[in-house]
Amino acid sequence: MPIEFEKVSFVYEPKSPFRHDALRDIELLIEEGVTTAIVGKTGSGKSTLIQHMNALLNPTSGRVKVGDFVNSSVKKERSKDLFSLRKKVGMVFQFPEYQLFEDTVEKDVAFGPRNFGASKEEALKMAHEALLRVGLDESFFTRSPFQLSGGEKRKAAIAGVLATKPSILVLDEPTSGLDPASAEETMLLFEEIKKEGTTLILVTHDMDLVLRHADKVVVMDEGKVVKVLPPEELFQTDLSDYSLDMPKVYAFARKLQERGWQLDMKDVRDVPGLAKAIKNGRRAS
Amino acid sequence: MSLAIKAEHISFSYAKDGPRTLDDVSFEIKEGEYVALIGHNGSGKSTLARILAGLISELDPNASLTVFGMEYDKEHSAEIHSKIGLVFQNPDNQFVGATVRDDIAFGLENRAIDPSLMDAIILESAASVGMEEYLDQAPENLSGGQKQRVALAGVLALRPSLLILDEATSMLDPKGKREILALVRKMRKENPSLTVLSITHDVEEAVESDRVLVLAGGKLILEGKGEEVFSHRELLEENHLESPFVHELSLALREEGVDVEPTLSEEGLLEELCR
């Protein structure tokens, strides 16, 4: 299911002195099956953009199409079936563990399916499946979410979104606050879910994550989409205008290049890849 | 040099007879030291922070905890608390005032600071984190990084001797992270006796600290200078932790047959490669 933004603008508090143009004339196609990263500094419009994808916000002008669902500035054009849209577009917000609220883990995860009309039994079954999927076994089902560690809470919160089996998954800083191994584990889980046909949209400041997982990067600045390109092309350009960091491998490679090294960075996505590129690289003498 | 923290045999379980979140943890932190505490999710890091903050006081009977030479008991807890400043992870959860000024004043009012001195203290601490222009702003107009700076200002206003950062930068964007770490560096420069305990997942920050403590499964498994701790790569990996980037790269290069020494120093590795 593709997502299409057609001339979308969004203004917060349009008729007040606090008026803020958060999105300006966005034209953007997010293709099915392509992992798309949305990057840009804080305040560039990333969050506002993703909130249009499941109609948490309606555009001030223009139109967003998610499959055959239409989210438009014109009330008459808007599709009515918000339930099925929100079932299709799952959102894992930043630090989702702060949103756990039920007294047991299974009830918390079952909340989504229940909300979308599943019976109590069905919802629990879906919750159990999702929990096993994220690596929380039966011993966790009836525990209080508040007794879990930070990493376990994160998994429970992700299970809550997976339980409704979304076809698009929007991930807002999915690994922040996780230890390196849990971060890796979490991304592996999402990669698996992607293989089963779910489209991933990644919102992040972590350029290492972008380099390793994204097929395409959307760069935002002051409410506009300023670039759409593959990560390896993005990181060859000057990013300081958008206050984006370089992935660590690129930052190090650049320092070597400044000292006369020639490196082929085409396939470099991680540390072992950079080590190979250095081994095969040359120093101009 | 005197000790800021001396912890001996600290054990703790949340449920009676439940699993031990902390299991016989002992360590010392000297006054003026900057110590990074790293560990996997669920390793007991935050529980240790809560104990040090006095939010958990029922310790195992064998445990002993002294802070600035005082036993951490009912008699001394108020005095110990007056010396500790805490900054937590979530910028929104710890902003209590209606404005930046109110938020910084909250701690001062709690300590019954003379109101005639308050304005000057608030201005000074806001200025030290670069937020003096925002004194009358409400939290919803601030970024996460700015809110964390206000949290730091609120703590600074109370002139703590021990600053505990519990993943204080993990919800911030890269710029916000760098700003907070730069501020902590500046504070230590201005006040060398300030002790900092930073609980973090950021191994690049840990490299900068004087000493690193590593918790895993409630036990202290490693402690020492960065170079020493990160040389135990396998043990760290087993416990869900990684080495800093430069160290990983130097090891990966050796695996590729490139002749470099394992190192934590970026400058060192660049020089070796360009020799």
Distance of alpha carbon B187 from alpha carbon B155, whole angstroms? 12
Domains of chain A: residue spans and CATH: 3-240 (3.40.50.300), 247-285 (no CATH)
Give the 3-state secondary structure of residue B258: coil
The residue ranges of chain B whose pLDDT is under 50 are none
pLDDT digits (tens, 9 = 90+) for B214-266: 999 999 999 999 989 999 989 999 998 988 999 999 999 999 999 999 999 99
> Cβ–Cβ contacts within 10 Å for residue A240, how many?
8
C-alpha span between B137 and B134 (Å, rounded): 5
Chain A residues whose beta carbon lies within 8 Å of the beta carbon of residue B43: 179
Using an 8 Å CB-CB cutoff, list chain A residues near B241.
Answer: 179-181
pTM: 0.87
pLDDT tens across A164-197, in order? 999 999 999 999 888 888 898 899 999 999 999 9
Beta carbons within 8 Å of B77's beta carbon, 6+ residues apart: B54, B57
Q: Does B119 lie at the interface with A, CB-CB under 8 angstroms? A: no
Please report how the helices A120-133 and A150-162 are oriented relative to each other, as an axis angle in degrees rounded to 10: 130
Name chain B contacts of A279, Cβ cutoff 8 Å: 253, 256-258
| Spatial distance between the Cα atoms of A281 and A269, rounded to a whole number of angstroms | 16
DSSP secondary structure letter of residue B130: T
Mean pLDDT of A23-44: 95
pLDDT digits (tens, 9 = 90+) for A48-75: 999 999 999 999 999 999 999 999 999 9
Q: Write the ipTM.
A: 0.84
Contact: A259, B171; criterion CB under 8 Å: no
The strand pairing partners of A14, in sequence order, are none
Burial of B106 (0-12, 13-18, 19+ CB in 10 A): middle
For residues B135 and B99, give the distance between their C-alpha atoms in angstroms, rounded to a whole number: 7
Q: What is the pLDDT of residues A196-212, one digit of tens each?
A: 999 999 999 999 999 99
Span A206-242, pLDDT tens digits: 999 999 999 999 999 999 999 999 999 999 888 887 8
Mean pLDDT of chain A: 93
Confidence (pLDDT) at B217: 93
CA distance, residue A109 to nearest chain B CA (Å) = 21
pLDDT of residue A43: 84
Q: Is the pLDDT of residue A285 over 70?
A: no
Interchain proximity A271–B144, CB inside 8 Å:
no
CB-CB contact of A275 with B258 (8 Å): yes
- For residue B51, the model assigns a pLDDT of 93
Strand partners, A6: A63
Closest partner CB to B41 (pick from A151, A252, A260): A151
**Which residues on B lie below 8 Å from A283 (Cβ)?**
274
Kindly determine whether residue A182 and residue B256, on different chains, have CB atoms separated by under 8 Å.
Answer: no
Task: Determine, for residues B40 and A271 on separate chains, whether the beta-carbon distance falls below 8 Å.
Answer: no
pLDDT at B19: 86
Pairing of strands B195-199, B211-216: unpaired
**What is the average per-residue pLDDT within A264-281?**
94
3-state secondary structure of A122: helix
